[in-house]
Amino acid sequence: MNMRSIKNIPRRVVIKYSLVTLVDNALLIYILILAQNWISIPTWLFWTVIALSLSKDLILFPYVWSAFDSKAPSKMRTIIGQRGTAIEPLAPEGYIRVQGELWKAETVSGCPSIGKGETVKVESAQGLKVFVVLDNAVF
């Protein structure tokens, strides 16, 4: 990820990530302080562990920031309109393969049953189930 794409990350995402890592690092500090009741932790080790934790958060941010962006299109929203293949008969439910992934599918009300190997089009999604029609079907 280059610096230009990092600058395009929304501020709300940076704030969410910062809050999560703040809690994470506060918990780490609390655990280290509690651990000092049973074992002696040298000061240099205490601060090194904290620095490593903060460094880990900074290094991982460019790779995980999209998971903190609730306004980004999800996989479910981007699958609508895609075409796939029925891997078993849909009468009215079964499984389809879309973009190499297996999805639980149900035919749209009024759509005839769909046979194994037929091409389907994803019309909508609810939860983890997609609703499909026979591709190029005329009702």
Walk along the chain (139 residues) and give the pLDDT tens digit of each residue. Answer: 544 456 678 888 889 999 999 999 999 999 999 999 999 999 999 999 999 999 999 999 988 888 887 776 555 567 888 999 999 999 889 999 998 889 999 998 888 888 999 999 999 888 788 999 988 755 4
Q: How many CB atoms lie within 10 A of CB 120?
A: 28
Every domain of the chain and the residues it spans: 3-68, 75-134
CATH number belonging to domain 75-134: 2.40.50.140
The burial class, CB within 10 Å (0-12 / 13-18 / 19+), for 25 is: middle
- Asked if 89 and 113 count as a contact pair (C-beta separation under 8 A), the reply is yes
Report which secondary-structure segment, H or E, holds 23: helix 11-35
Backbone CA torsion sign across 38, 44, 45, 50: positive
Measured CA to CA, the distance from residue 72 to residue 63 in angstroms comes to 15
